A and B are shown apart, each in its own frame.
Chain A
């Protein structure tokens, strides 16, 4: 494995007395596709929050591209290319769909944008998720599914070098799941590392080169999809033996 793009060491996150993450180590190689799974409430979103800077972790370290980003703001991490989507979509509701994409273009990716017209570049992201015909519609009135599309398009326009995708496919039909998988494969093909949280096993298994399993805040397994499928601990966590 090449020099890791992301390495999380001994990360612990508490909410009051409750330990949501307990000494988690995760590392991610350059251009790697990592699946992150675990039962509900196991701490997947919390881990994403700590990596992206939305939450501060009191213990542990987050290294990105060789530098320590622990304790830096989410916006500065976004500028470095750590971009996340939200499990529950959070569009900028007063803005149109395309205006939603202009925010990350102006901020997160401001130093990395091509000099072409921003709107054209935003349209390209919209085309990828299939929202190109609705660019000027208000984002507040979208259906849940379209909001997920927007969530993904907005993340794409931030020009991530590491995409943290939090259940982008929840609620999508089987063919739509394949579409999103294609988008994420294409993104990865352009050199973007991806951490994918997903409950849809078919998608995770197909997409991931490696899978990390969380249970009650602890990492219980880390390996190739085949290894994970045959792991006794994972089975126990999911079936709640």
Chain B
């Protein structure tokens, strides 16, 4: 019953998205919703490792940018192949990076892991800055194909693409959260040694977690070059990406798959509204204040608040 409801909503959202491209023609809506969904994917991806497994990753920007630069590389190397190819290749590349990072840092706990991921991101950035083939420090322009089949404009195609990626990310995250793997990850997060002693293969599960995290981050980054048409290392590897990816689940709630979905919707919408109507600096300030406010006042995020509320109400009814 519950399962069917979930799949029904997923299908419905996808169909509504398609319908949206047919009726709406103000491109702004697509740009704005694209940005919200990109944010949501990053939050979902971060949360698999950070929220489910308890390993804080500061290097989200690195994985995101690795996805974007996979697209750039393919664009340059194979004379602008269809974006769909990049969207398939980038998660594999970034998943592999995630696997490598996981393997390399698996002995590190807590903060050390967090710092190591930051280090990986900066090393990736340094490589890209020095790699002329993908534009180096100067960046890389990407012409958007003029003809798109089926859609009125390229942004509509990007919109549908990111919508599909978002839904896949939600499905993957929900599966990891509610399956046996998810229980194992939660055990690792609570107490890794106790988990291992109770038969949880912590190394294997952590590698699954870092790989999926990397893959989803890469998927979020893959269409990015087409979205902004000009990629350069400073903005692609921006630490802001890392902060946003952390803020989304922290605001929504880190314990379950739904948290970053809610957090992404909320934070993304606030951001788009503020950026358009006021200023982008203020937007950053708001992200910072909302983040700090939530973690100090509602550390379990919105889902936590909701659960508290339900618990109180149940108590009241008794």
Binding site for B on A (CB under 8 A): 52-54, 73-76, 78-79, 83-84, 86, 90-95, 99, 102-104, 106-110, 154, 158
Contact = CB atoms under 8 A, between A and B. Distances in A.
B194 A86 contact: yes
Contact of A103 (B193, B198, B255): B198
A109 B200 CA distance: 10
Nearest to B202: A75
A103 B184 contact: yes
B83 to A, nearest CB: 40
A92 B255 CA distance: 14
Contacts of B203: 73
A9 to B, nearest CB: 23
Interface in B171-230: 180, 183-184, 186-187, 189-191, 193-203
A94 B190 contact: yes
A106 B187 CA distance: 11
A79 B189 CA distance: 20
Contact of A104 (B186, B191, B199): B199
B196 A73 contact: yes
Given A95-B186, A106-B183, A54 B193 contact: yes
Interface residues of B, number: 20
A106 B184 contact: yes
Contacts of A110: 199
Nearest to A104: B198
B301 to A, nearest CB: 14
A93 B190 contact: yes
Contact of B191 (A73, A84, A90): A90
B190 A92 contact: yes
Given A74-B197, A90-B193, A93-B191, 19 more contacts: A54-B193, A54-B196, A54-B197, A73-B201, A74-B193, A75-B199, A75-B201, A91-B194, A93-B190, A95-B186, A95-B187, A103-B184, A103-B195, A103-B199, A104-B198, A106-B184, A107-B198, A107-B201, A158-B199
A92 B194 contact: yes
Contact of A108 (B190, B191, B198): B198
Contacts of B194: 86, 90-92
A7 B189 CA distance: 33
Contact of B186 (A52, A53, A74, A94): A94
A74 B193 CA distance: 9
16 contacts: A52-B197, A73-B201, A74-B193, A75-B197, A75-B200, A78-B198, A79-B199, A84-B197, A91-B191, A92-B191, A94-B186, A103-B183, A103-B195, A104-B198, A106-B183, A107-B180
B90 to A, nearest CB: 32
Contact of A78 (B184, B189, B199, B255): B199
Contact of B187 (A54, A74, A83, A92): A92
Nearest to A92: B190
Contacts of A76: 201
Contacts of A74: 193, 196-197
A225 to B, nearest CB: 29
Contact of B197 (A78, A91, A99): A78
A83 B180 CA distance: 20
Contacts of B184: 103, 106-107
A95 B184 CA distance: 12
A54 B202 CA distance: 12
A83 to B, nearest CB: 7
Contacts of B183: 99, 102-103, 106
Contacts of A99: 183
A109 B189 contact: no
A110 B200 CA distance: 10
Contacts of A102: 183
